[in-house]
Structure 1
Amino acid sequence: MFVVCGEALMDVYVQESTPTGLLLDARVGGSPFNVAVGLARLGQPVQFLAGLSQDVPGERLMQSLQDESVGTALVVRSPAPTTLSVVTVGRTGVPSYAFHGHGAADRMLDATALPALPAEARALQFGSYTMVVDPVGSALRGLAARERAQRLVAYDPNVRLNVEPDLGRWRAVVQEMAALAHVVKVSDEDLGLLYPGESPAQVAARWLAEGVRLVVVTCGANGSLAWNRHGHAAAPSPQVDVIDTVGAGDTFQAAMLAWLAEHDALPAERLDALDAQQLAALLRFGARAAAITCARRGADMPRRREVA
Structure 2
Amino acid sequence: MFLSCGDSLFDVFADLDADVSRIGLSARIGGSALNAALGLARLGHGSAYFSKISGDLYGRRLRAFMEQEEIDQRFLIPTTRNTTLAMVSLSQAGVPEYSFYIEGTADRSVEPDEVPSPLPDEIEAVHVGGSYSTVSEPTAAAILKLVRQERDRRFVSYDPNIRASVVPDLDVWRAKVAELGPLATLVKASDEDLSQLYPGRSIDAVLADWVAAGAALGIVTRGEKGAVALAASGTGASLPGVSVHVVDTVGAGDTFLAMTLAKLSEDGALSREAVTSFGEADLQALLGAAIRAAAVTCTRRGADLPRRADLGLSALPARK
Q: TM-score normalised by the shorter chain: which range applies?
A: over 0.9
1:268-307: CA deviations, max 9, x gaps?
1111121100100100100000000000111110001222
Please list the CA deviations of residues 165-207 of structure 1 after superposition, one character each: whole Å capped at 9, or x if unmatched: 1100000000001121110001011111101121111111111
Match of 2:123, SS state, is: coil
Instruction: Say if 1:241 and 1:295, in contact at 8 Å, map to a contact too.
Output: yes
Q: Displacement, 1:210?
A: 1.1
Give the corresponding residue for 1:58.
59
1:115 and 2:107 are equivalent in the alignment: no
Q: Partner residue of 2:7? A: 7
Residues 19 and 97 from structure 1, CA distance in 2 versus in 1: closer, same or farther, beyond 3 angstroms? closer
> Equivalences for 1:1-308 in 2 at 5 Å?
1-17=1-17, 20-116=21-117, 117-126=119-128, 127-230=130-233, 231-308=235-312
Deviation at 1:146, TM superposition (A): 1.3
Q: Distance in 1 between matches of 2:115 and 2:237?
A: 38
Q: Bigger shift: 287-296 or 10-19?
A: 10-19
- Is the partner of 1:50 in helix, strand or coil? strand
Inter-partner Cα distance in structure 2 for 1:36 and 1:227: 24
Of the structure 1 ranges 78-87 and 121-130, higher mean CA displacement relative to structure 2 is found in 121-130
Q: CA deviation at 1:19?
A: 7.2
State whether residues 56 and 82 of structure 2, in contact with CA within 8 Å, keep that contact through their aligned partners in structure 1: yes
Per-residue deviation, residues 130-171 of structure 1 (Å, max 9, x unmatched): 001000001101110111000111000000001111100000
- Contact 1:285-1:307 within 8 A present in 2 as well: no
For 2:2 and 2:269, the matched residues in 1 are separated by: 13
In the TM superposition, what is the alpha-carbon distance from 1:229 to its structure 2 partner? 2.0
Inter-partner Cα distance in structure 2 for 1:21 and 1:86: 15
TM superposition shift of 1:16: 2.2
Is the contact made by 2:115 and 2:145 (CA closer than 8 Å) also made in structure 1? no
User: Does the 8 A contact of 1:170 with 1:194 survive in 2?
Assistant: yes
Distance in 2 of aligned mates of 1:189 and 1:97: 14
Gaps of 5+ in 2: 313-320
1:6·1:50 contact (CA, 8 Å) conserved in 2? yes
Residue-by-residue CA offset, 1:48-89 (whole Å, 9 max, x unaligned): 011111101000011101100110000111100000100011
Deviation at 1:265, TM superposition (A): 0.8
1-structure distance, mates of 2:16, 2:63: 28
Give the 3-state SS of the residue equivalent to 2:33 in structure 1: helix
1:164 maps to a residue whose letter is V
Q: Which runs of 5+ in 1 are unaligned?
A: none
Q: CA deviation at 1:258?
A: 0.5
1:185 corresponds to which letter in structure 2? K
Maintained 8 Å contact 1:7/1:51: no
Matches of 1:305 and 1:274, distance apart in 2: 28
Aligned-pair RMSD on alpha carbons? 1.0
Q: Secondary structure at the match of 1:269?
A: helix
Give the drift of 1:27.
Answer: 1.0
SS across alignment from 2:108:
helix
Identity %: 44
- Aligned mates of 2:10, 2:310 — CA distance in 1: 26
Alignment length (residue pairs): 308
